Structure 1
Amino acid sequence: INLELVEKIQKVRDLLNRKIFVVSGIRCPFWNTHEGGDRDSFHLPKWGLATDLKTEGAWSRKRIIELYLAAEKIGFNGLGFYETFIHVDTGGRISRWILRGGKYIYLF
């Protein structure tokens, strides 16, 4: 796993002063496919640059928004917003997206 990723997750945790839980970290190719991940996902072992996170009270939209905004402030390159968790990555491209109503909306 990428050290920059781990350090940034810790910074998010420190900023929020709240527990952070890893929903999905590095995935083998089989599990990545099972989860609907991109075939070149940053979750794959060859990259180790992505994780999905949630926090205490993740059922609350407010808590997910707080987590997302903290991750954005820390400077993750990739940020995805889901119903009960967020995706963060330190890959080489800046991207933002939301999963809403079963459809991905790519912001950039």
Structure 2
Amino acid sequence: MLIRSVSLFDTTGWRWPHFSPRELACKCRGQFCDGAYWHDPAFLDALEKLRGAVDRPLVINSGHRCRRWNAKMGGAEHSMHKQIAVDIALDGHDRFALLAAAESLGFNGIGLGRNFLHLDRRARPAQWYYKGSRALWQT
């Protein structure tokens, strides 16, 4: 469910202690939207379980993106960021353990970056490498 502005989102009953709507909202800072936020409880449940599985903070570099911010960031035309997806910073994580935990929790849109892991839950599974990252993900 798309919320036009994260400031309009009622956090009563928020049950995901390691994340906030603001960190998952569009980060265009008013250039194109008013901090649009895509609320998906099932996605957040999986994200919270991922946090528990790796027992380390997950730093979200990017969550929801409005259409124009996604384009400015070089996102794909049909990017899941235009609904809900996350790019998680890899700093302080074992990239392979984080990937395995994400896969076990039903994240099936997986982008393997140099310093981040893209995760979403799409209808058809997909996995890809971002430019210059393939060698870092080879075992």
State the TM-score, normalized to the length of structure 1.
Answer: 0.78
Aligned residues: 96
Gaps of 5+ in 2: 1-38, 135-139
After superposition, residues 11-50 of structure 1 pair within 5 angstroms as: 11-44=49-82, 48-50=83-85
Equivalent pair of 2:51/2:58 in contact (CA under 8 Å): yes
- TM-score where L is the length of structure 2: 0.62
User: Which residue among 80, 99, 106 is the counterpart of 1:68?
Assistant: 99
Q: Which has the higher contact order (CA 8 A, sep 6+)?
A: 1
CA RMSD after TM alignment? 1.9
2:123 counterpart letter in structure 1: G
**Distance in 1 of aligned mates of 2:110 and 2:131:** 14
Larger Rg: 2
- Equivalent pairs: percent with the same residue? 32
Q: Tell me if structure 2 keeps the 8 A contact 1:19–1:56.
A: no
Letter in 1 for 2:61: V
Letter in 2 for 1:98: Y
Residue from 121, 131, 134 that aligns with 1:90: 121
2:48 is matched with 10
Provide the residue aligned with 1:80 in structure 2.
Answer: 111
Residue type matched to 2:84 in 1? L
Inter-partner Cα distance in structure 2 for 1:43 and 1:26: 5
Structure with a larger share of its residues in strand: 1
Give the drift of 1:32.
0.3
Distance 1:66 1:77 in 2: 15
Q: Which ranges of structure 1 fall in alignment gaps of 5 or more residues?
A: 104-108
- C-alpha deviation, 1:101, in angstroms: 2.1
Q: Which residue of 1 aligns with 2:88?
A: 53
In 2, distance between residues paired with 1:56 and 1:90?
23
